[in-house]
């Protein structure tokens, strides 16, 4: 396992420090480095906080800034942030209009964010949105929150910036996470630095379909195939699962899981777009890049969101974060 | 070799098509898809054109847009664009103020860009800047142009947008490429899809120091070490080689070579910044990400540019391209 790290113990802290130093125009460390927050807060706006395990960078810290998150809490690799971290962030960034926690549907994250909500409830009004965009249903646990989390954070961030109230944000969050579906594929497993163990191994002829973002195996091992075939497998599953109301704008997001170079992501986007358009889905918005990772996994995920006109406006709303900027 | 491609023959065309479709608000294909250009040209501005082999994505196409390039020509993998492609781009995007070609110092690129210049010279005023930021001197060939090319394109793009004349841009280009130094390291070689050959192989204990961006071996094979040690090796070589005038702003750019995940790049940035600051270099501008690649190489490069006040203003100037956006 060759990685650019100094030690498994210090890697998360050092990487976060590099991130904050490289983006010091936009973000700062919070109290005792327990979270990262915007350099400038907007008073009277609902505060958006997200977080989770490390290993998914640039998510969530890369999405802190105007039009998106106010703070993000990072735990150890693939391990939730602690309630204490989350409470510290809430105490710091809630400027009076309340706080919305955006949480990916994983047991550890749910437990710790819920505990933080309870701990903060005497001093703050806090609500929570659980993202569950994966097409896979995990027995007894529902769908995982994966790359679609970026879309939820972008839309809620824009709405918060436009002074939407906390109850309306919760409503928007529930509607939004329902209109997004994602599916991932891996060409390699990952090695978790702390354990030095590979989560699964694939030989030269195999791929893993349906992976999440914690190095866990997917729902089936299949033969390696060309990009069109792999993408067809993902897109047809997504299309069978997503609600397709009238007059929607398709947002197609092809996300690298860590080690997939940009040229391949653009090629996969091309395959996905061909396929979706053949199926009558009109793609009006696009995002291609490495935004939600699973350490150094060679793989990608396809996310499709079918957005109403209001949601499309929120997607287009200016955003100024280390990892997403436009408008 | 598992990659997200359909065939070695079609991979460049399909990837470029995906890129253009995903960024159709900013870029369009030029004549017969021989180049990619800005959707809207600015009349009366010197046109900036770059290009080279595929395999370095998002460079150069990702840097087309306001404040940076007007067009970019992409050849096959690690193979220069043809003079015909470049002439087509010149014919299209020169709006009367002349044309500046930004070329990386590689034999094939030099030959084809020079030939294109000659072919276009009866109809256009064309000048050329050769980027040679690598610390390594190649016998008889000088220094290669690597990740520092991004910095040159950013500064010249901003100056052109501010209506700098072609002769002044040439002068600025020469000054700029002189104040930039880069050095790369690989943890793995790459497989070129057309030949199915690995350009070099490293075992679990080896790294390759001094690599360029065409999968070629570097100048020495060394034992794998922790990130601080590797980065110290790169930064000390850069510092020994770069001119260090007074009152300069350090721009530190840590670039992924294709398969290095964002978290490791941020960690490497942190190492580099610690090291440079210890050596008295004050880092005032930063860029961390996968911008100049060598297919799916696991590795990174460190670029240091020591910028004058004028150059720093050009770096800060607004840019709106698929891969770089700020201001």
The sign of the CA dihedral A182, A186, A189, A194 is: negative
Question: Are the C-beta atoms of residues B169 and B46 closer than 8 Å to each other?
Answer: yes
Residue B304 and residue B311: Cα distance in Å, rounded?
A: 14
Whether residue B290 and residue A287 make contact (CB cut-off 8 A), yes or no, is: no
Those of residues 53-112 in A touching chain B at CB distance below 8 A are 54-55, 57-58, 62
Cα four-point dihedral sign B64, B70, B75, B81: negative
CB A296 within 8 A of CB A56: no
Per-residue pLDDT, B293? 98
Which DSSP helix (H) or strand (E) runs through B137? strand B137-138
pLDDT of residue B196: 83
The answer to whether residue B234 scores a pLDDT higher than 90 is yes
> What digits encode the pLDDT tens for the residues B162-183?
999 999 999 999 999 989 999 9
User: Among B37, B57, B54, B45, which residue's Cα sits nearest to residue B100?
Assistant: B45
Confidence of residue B246 (pLDDT cuts 50, 70, 90): confident
A14/B270 Cβ within 8 A: yes
For chain A, give the longest Cα–Cα distance: 56
Distances (CA, A) of A169 to A103, A111, A129, A157, A243: 14, 22, 9, 9, 21
Q: Using the beta-carbon criterion (under 8 Å), do B260 and A296 form an inter-chain contact?
A: yes
pLDDT score for A251: 98
Contact between chains at A19 and B228 (C-beta distance less than 8 A): no
Average pLDDT over residues A262-283: 97
Q: Is the separation of the CB atoms in B151 and B162 below 8 Å?
A: no
Question: Cα angle at A230 between A227 and A236, to 5 degrees?
Answer: 125
Q: Is B124 exposed, middle or buried (0-12, 13-18, 19+ CB in 10 A)?
A: middle
How far CA A202 is from CA of A186, A220, B52, in Å, comes to 9, 12, 35
Q: Which distant-in-sequence residues (6+ apart) come within 8 Å of A268 by Cβ?
A: A227, A230, A231, A254, A300, A302, B4, B18
Q: Which of A43, A56, A132, A219 is catalytic?
A: A56
Give mean pLDDT, residues A203-232: 95
Judging by DSSP bridges, how do beta strands B47-54 and B71-77 pair with one another? parallel
Are A298 and B270 inside 8 Å of each other by CB? no
**A321 touches A157 (CB < 8 A):** no
Tell me if residue A132 is catalytic.
no
Chain A residue nearest residue B58, CA to CA: A262
Model confidence at A253, in pLDDT bands (50, 70, 90)? very high
Which pTM does this prediction carry? 0.98
Give the residue carrying structure tokens 């091309």.
A270
Is the predicted pLDDT of residue A207 greater than 90, yes or no? Answer: yes
What is the average per-residue pLDDT within A29-49?
97
C-alpha distance across the termini of chain A, in Å: 40
**B249: contact with A, CB 8 A cutoff:** no
Q: Does B264 touch chain A (CB under 8 A)?
A: yes
Q: Which of B43, B56, B60, B194 is catalytic?
A: B56
Which one-letter DSSP state was computed for residue A97? S
Helix (H) or strand (E) holding B22: helix B11-22
Verify whether residue A214 is a known catalytic residue: yes
Q: By percentage, how much of chain A surpasses pLDDT 70?
A: 100
- B14 — contact with chain A (CB < 8 Å)? yes
Contact between chains at A228 and B325 (C-beta distance less than 8 A): no
**Spatial CA neighbour of B181 closest among B217, B151, B138:** B151
Whole-angstrom distance, CA of residue A305 vs CA of residue A253 = 8
Mean pLDDT of A219-246: 95
Q: How far is it, in rounded angstroms, from Cα B264 to Cα B64?
A: 27
Residues A141-166 pLDDT 10s: 999 999 999 999 999 999 999 999 99
Please state the rounded mean pLDDT for residues A242-255.
92
| Residue A3 near chain B (CB below 8 Å) | yes
d(CA B252, CA A252): 33
Is the per-residue pLDDT at A236 higher than 90? Answer: yes
Enter the DSSP assignment of A67.
T
Tokens of B99: 């044309």
Contact B271 A325 (CB under 8 A): no
| pLDDT score, position B303 | 98
Residues A166-199: tens digit of each pLDDT:
999 999 999 999 899 999 999 999 989 988 888 8
pLDDT more than 90, % of chain A? 93
Per-residue pLDDT of A285-314, as tens digits, reads: 999 999 999 999 999 999 999 999 999 999
- On whether any CB of chain B is under 8 Å from the CB of A286, the answer is yes
What pLDDT, in 10s, does the model give residues A50-61?
Answer: 999 999 999 999
Q: What is the least distance, in Å, from the CA of A47 to any CA of chain B?
A: 24
Residue B76 and residue B54 in contact, taking contact as beta carbons nearer than 8 Å: yes
- Does A243 contact B at CB distance below 8 Å? no
Structure tokens, B27: 């870029």
Give B139 or A97, the one with higher predicted confidence: A97
Number of H helices and E strands in chain B, helices first, is 8, 18
What integer best gives the mean pLDDT of chain A? 96
Domains (range + CATH), chain A = 12-178 (3.40.50.10440), 180-316 (3.30.1180.20)
Is residue B111 scored above 90 in pLDDT?
Answer: yes
ipTM summary value: 0.98
Flag whether residue B301 sits within 8 Å of chain A, measured between CB atoms. Answer: no
8 Å CB contact of B4 and A227: yes
**Per-residue pLDDT tens over the stretch A309-327:** 999 999 999 999 999 999 9
Nearest residue, CB atoms, A262 vs list B58, B261, B267: B58
In the prediction, which pLDDT does A151 show?
98
CB A70 within 8 A of CB A29: no
CA B77/CA A81 separation, integer angstroms: 43
CA-nearest residue to A326 within chain B is B325
Average pLDDT along chain B: 96
Q: Which residues contact B139 (CB under 8 A, 6 or more apart)?
A: none
Asked whether the beta carbons of B172 and B159 are under 8 A apart, the reply is yes
Among candidates B14, B22, B273 on the partner chain, residue whose Cβ is nearest the Cβ of A286: B22
Contact status of B318 with chain A (Cβ, < 8 Å):
no
What's the pLDDT score for residue A195?
Answer: 86
């Amino acid at each position: 396992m060759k990685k650019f790290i100094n030690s498994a113990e210090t890697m998360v802290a050092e990487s976060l420090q590099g991130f904050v130093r490289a983006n010091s125009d936009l973000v700062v460390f919070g109290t005792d480095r327990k979270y990262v927050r915007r350099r400038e807060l907007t008073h009277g706006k609902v505060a958006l906080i997200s977080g989770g395990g490390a290993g998914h960078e640039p998510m969530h810290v890369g999405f802190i800034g105007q039009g998106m998150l106010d703070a993000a809490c990072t735990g150890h690799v693939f391990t939730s942030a602690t309630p204490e971290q989350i409470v510290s962030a809430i105490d710091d960034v809630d400027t009076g209009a309340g706080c919305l926690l955006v949480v990916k549907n994983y047991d550890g994250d749910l437990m710790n964010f819920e505990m933080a909500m309870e701990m903060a409830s005497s001093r703050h009004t806090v609500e929570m949105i659980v993202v569950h965009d994966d097409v896979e249903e995990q027995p007894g646990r529902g769908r995982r929150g994966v790359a679609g989390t970026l879309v939820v954070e972008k839309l809620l961030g824009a709405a918060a910036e436009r002074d939407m109230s906390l109850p309306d944000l919760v409503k928007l969050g529930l509607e939004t996470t329902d209109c997004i579906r994602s599916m991932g594929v891996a060409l390699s497993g990952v090695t978790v630095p702390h354990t030095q163990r590979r989560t699964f191994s694939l030989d030269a002829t195999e791929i893993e379909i349906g992976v999440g973002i914690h190095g866990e195996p997917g729902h089936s091992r299949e033969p390696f195939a060309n990009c069109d075939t792999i993408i067809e497998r993902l897109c047809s599953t997504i299309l069978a699962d997503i609600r397709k109301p009238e007059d929607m704008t398709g947002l197609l997001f092809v996300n690298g899981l860590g080690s997939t170079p940009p040229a391949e992501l653009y090629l996969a986007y091309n395959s996905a777009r061909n396929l979706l358009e053949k199926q009558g889905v009109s793609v009006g918005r696009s995002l291609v890049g490495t935004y939600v990772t699973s350490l150094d996994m060679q793989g990608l995920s396809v996310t499709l969101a079918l957005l109403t006109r209001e949601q499309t406006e929120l997607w287009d709303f200016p955003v100024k974060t280390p990892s997403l900027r436009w408008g």
